[in-house]
Amino acid sequence: MTSSVIIEQLKREKILDLLNQGKRIDGRGLHDQRPLSIEIGVIPKANGSARVKLGYTEVITGVKIQPDKPFPDLGDKGILICTAEILPLADPKAEPGPPGEEVIELARVVDRGIRETEMLDLKQLVLIKDKSVIGIFVDSSVLNTDGNLFDACSYAAVGAILSCTVPKYEIKNDAPVLVEGVTSKPPTKTIPVSVTMARIGEYIIVDPTADEEACMNARITITTNSDGNICALQKGGSDGFTVEQLFKCSEIALSVGTKIRKQLEQLM
Amino acid sequence: MMETVKRKYVIPGDTIVTGPFRPEQNVYQDGDRIISTSIGISEIYENAVRVIPLSGMYMPKTNDLIIGKVIGHSSLSWEFDINSCFIGFLPAQDVFGRDYSPTKDELKARLDKGDLVAVRVANFDRSRDPLLTIQDRDLGKIESGELITIAPSKVPRLIGKRGSMIQTIEMATKAIITIGQNGLIVVSCEDPVGLLKAIEAVKMVDAQAHTPNLTERVKSMLGVELGENNDTINE
Amino acid sequence: MTQLMNENGIRCDGRSIDQIRNVSIKVGVLKNADGSAYIEFGKNKILAGVFGPRDVHPKHMADQDSGILRCRYHMSPFSVTERKNPAPSRREIEISKVIKEALQPAVILKDFPRTVVDVFIEILQADGGSRCAALDAASVALVDAGIPMRDMVSACAAGKVADKIVLDVNDEEDKEGQADMPVAYMPNLGKITLMQLDGILTPNEYKKCLETAIGGCKQVYEIQKKALMEKYFKNGEA
């Protein structure tokens, strides 16, 4: 992934210099995100799909909905599985093959954001308790990397879920059968928004690019729900935060999150 | 003279000409056909045929001045990313002299990861990775400036005929521009407005290298009076 | 079973027997790749990204005399009706190999010893003939990356549907038709670099099928050429 990038010394100095003046290398304010575009319905064969561009970071997510067996201890809930991968065409450093730890972290952070905010009411997805449920598979593929894959994947996943149509299944002879032509909206309860911040020196910046990630000391991803609660969190990077910094991060996550949520709500 | 050069746009597989011509860069001979191997502009001059490519990476040539980024070192040499498929090597002796000793001298202290360095290709052949040197005037670590990467195939256009394009940009903006044949360009300028203008001009040449009257458009962007037309597509 | 062809010789998606689906190609769509292309071929939506020539990892794969070509054809989990397991299947591994071997005759890698050119193909949405469409995008992406090539590679399938030889078999025709023959072709050198066949053809049908497929390749070639011209020569005349 991008952490192995060796950034030119000149650029590193410039990034630090500019931060001291309260500026960023691409002209953004410290707490500004890059332009975010979300396009839905890009893969007609999927039940829901979204293509997200966050600056030059690009992600496509497809949702597949199909009957499945429930998890053994969760017979009264449908299945939700979120995966993420960095396609080898997204980055000269990415390689095909089993995912590395950074990609696994990415997939799990995206999954946690959607699961822990209880975006989907999985109880509405049961066909026969303990036997048959509807499974929602949310697969995200990174198409181009330029930092902050967490938020880009998360917005694509949330966008794809919001845009999806759930096919109807009926039980006939103990087996689920697709009812043609009948669909419903997904049982969503809230809209999770993840906001990733990097700490470079004493500065907290929102939505770091790959160059900024190459300079950062630590990173934090905070996911909030529509009620303004903090629901999922992941700290990364080889250094830490002070308590004050973490308080500030949560405030930023809520205020930036509100703007993004408005953009996501328009997809519904 | 320019009038005797015939140009056209080609993609790989296109036959440029049929007959007794000499194949040069980015073409090959198939029977009596001369065929392009790249997307670019074909040129027939005298009896030779070549294609100026519009994409592709830098292929090192001995004596080229290039800009490299330090990506690592062993106890005997530094490794450089030179924007090519090959890694460049700068031997420790080249920097420390012949009595270099791995126990005494610290490579990291002299050049570290991420440093940009103006280097010359001392030697390159198919059997070994390119050998670099900084033993020459104007070579060595680049201490300040802004890095821009352009297509290596467009470097000749940025330099211009006998340096005309680059001189135009430097004079109009008071910037100092170091051009690596590998497409890495470092622009430095004390005046921030001049810096931005110079960068814009370099990017403009990169984006519009194969279009006619480029020099005029660069000049008008820079606010320079239009002089005599010395515009050419390359060299 | 759907009716694949009506009495007037019109196919299930409204095409005539010698008509290819709508094809559009865009060059240079991935910022981080050295070369890239996006193709829509019927309902196929495919991205191809080329990296290199670059250092070979693992090292032992490197060839001291020439660059090597590697290819990965991969389907997104959401690209087909039933969710596909993201791990590469045996089918994808085989297709990766035949695509690589279809591109190999075109690329000239002798000037890049000890390096690799990686071609990554992602099927975002699959329809019939995805390997041909993938090849069409990969070939354009290689040109975009500036990899020297003897010729373009253009691919298109032909097949037998409702007892007729038809050009460019779609998904329904592939599943329920009688034969499917994907072909890749170097249009200027007249060489076939990929050919497969599933189904039964008489010797005459076989000849006709191959000729039909090559006709399709030539049509695709024009579209590839236009896409490249659009990116590289849009603002100027030579």
Segment B172-198 mean pLDDT: 93
Contact B57 C34 (CB under 8 A): yes
The Cα A164–Cα A17 span in angstroms is: 45
| Domain edges within chain C | 23-232
Burial of B74 (0-12, 13-18, 19+ CB in 10 A): exposed
> Cβ of A51: how many Cβ atoms within 10 Å?
21
Radius of gyration of chain A (CA): 19
Assigned token pair, A133: 């449920």
Number of domains in chain A: 1
Is the pLDDT at C238 greater than 50? The verdict is: no
AA identity, residue A189: K
Contact B28 C35 (CB under 8 A): no
Q: How confident is the model at residue B4 (pLDDT cuts 50, 70, 90)?
A: low
Q: What is the dihedral of CA B17, B18, B22, B25, to 10 degrees?
A: 40
Contact A10 B112 (CB under 8 A): no
Assigned token pair, B30: 């198939």
Whether A124 is in a domain gets the answer: yes
The Cα C68–Cα C181 span in angstroms is: 28
The least confident of A48-62, A170-184, B82-96, B103-117 is: B103-117
**Closest residue on chain A to B112 (Cα):** A9
Q: Which domains does chain B have, with CATH numbers?
A: 2-53 (2.40.50.100), 65-141 (2.40.50.140), 146-222 (3.30.1370.10)
CATH number of C23-232: 3.30.230.70
pLDDT digits (tens, 9 = 90+) for C180-232: 999 999 999 999 999 999 999 999 999 999 999 999 999 999 999 999 999 98
Closest partner residue to C30 (CB to CB) among A89, A95, A141 is A89
- For residue C119, the distance in angstroms to the closest alpha carbon of chain A comes to 8
Mutation site, A49, A143, A164, interface C, largest C CB count within 10 A: A143
Q: Are A43 and C45 in contact (CB under 8 A)?
A: yes
Q: Which residue has the higher pLDDT, B228 or A116?
A: A116
What is the full DSSP assignment across chain A? -GGG----HHHHHHHHHHHHTT--TTS--TTPPPPEEEEE---TTSSEEEEEEETTEEEEEEEEEEEEPPPTT-TTS-EEEEEEEE-GGG-TT--SSS--HHHHHHHHHHHHHHHHTT-B-GGGGEEETTTEEEEEEEEEEEEE-SS-HHHHHHHHHHHHHHT--EEEEEEETTEEEEEEEEEE---B----EEEEEEEETTEEEES--HHHHHH-SEEEEEEE-TTS-EEEEEEESSS---HHHHHHHHHHHHHHHHHHHHHHHTT-
pLDDT of residue A4: 54
DSSP state of B4: G
A87 has a chain C CB within 8 A of its CB? yes
> Cβ of B147: how many Cβ atoms within 10 Å?
18
CB interface of C with A, residues 124-143, below 8 Å: 124-126
Under DSSP, is residue C21 helix (H, G, I), strand (E, B) or coil? coil
Where in the sequence is the domain holding A129, given as residue range(s)? 7-190
- For residue B41, the distance in angstroms to the closest alpha carbon of chain C comes to 7
Assigned token pair, A70: 């429930």
Q: Hey, which chains touch B, using 3+ CB pairs under 8 Å?
A: A, C
pLDDT digits (tens, 9 = 90+) for C138-159: 999 999 999 999 999 999 999 9
pLDDT of residue A50: 98
Beta-bridge mates of residue C181: C158
The Cα B81–Cα B100 span in angstroms is: 24
Burial of A27 (0-12, 13-18, 19+ CB in 10 A): exposed
Closest partner residue to A62 (CB to CB) among C36, C76, C82 is C76
Beta-bridge mates of residue A86: A142
Contact C83 A91 (CB under 8 A): no
pLDDT digits (tens, 9 = 90+) for A205-233: 999 999 999 999 999 999 999 999 999 98
A201 — alpha (psi -120 to 50), left (phi > 0) or beta? left
Whether A12 is in a domain gets the answer: yes
**Per residue in A250-260, is it b (16+ CB within 10 Å) or e — as a string?**
eebbbebbeeb
Closest partner residue to B12 (CB to CB) among C54, C114, C151 is C151
Segment B89-113 mean pLDDT: 83
Whether A258 is in a domain gets the answer: no
Q: Are C102 and C194 in contact (CB under 8 A)?
A: yes
CA A141-A143-A148 angle, 5° bins: 85
- For residue B31, the distance in angstroms to the closest alpha carbon of chain C comes to 11
- The CATH number that applies at residue A161 is 3.30.230.70
Phi then psi dihedrals of residue C97, to 5 deg: -70, -45
Segment B106-115 mean pLDDT: 86
Divide the 268 residues of chain A into consecutive groups of 10 and give the mean pLDDT of each group: 65 91 93 97 96 98 96 92 94 84 92 93 94 96 97 98 95 91 94 96 96 94 94 89 94 95 92
Contact C49 A64 (CB under 8 A): no
Burial of B113 (0-12, 13-18, 19+ CB in 10 A): middle
Beta-bridge mates of residue A199: A204, A218
Is the pLDDT at B137 greater than 60? The verdict is: yes
C77 has a chain A CB within 8 A of its CB? yes
Q: How confident is the model at residue C235 (pLDDT cuts 50, 70, 90)?
A: low
Closest partner residue to A10 (CB to CB) among B81, B112, B145 is B145
pLDDT of residue C236: 52
pLDDT digits (tens, 9 = 90+) for B17-46: 999 999 999 999 999 999 999 999 999 988
Q: How confident is the model at residue B184 (pLDDT cuts 50, 70, 90)?
A: very high
Mean pLDDT of chain B: 88
pLDDT digits (tens, 9 = 90+) for C74-117: 999 999 999 999 999 999 999 999 999 999 999 999 999 999 99
CB interface of B with C, residues 46-85, below 8 Å: 53-57, 59, 85
Site of tokens 């025709």: C173
Whether A210 is in a domain gets the answer: no
AA identity, residue C112: F
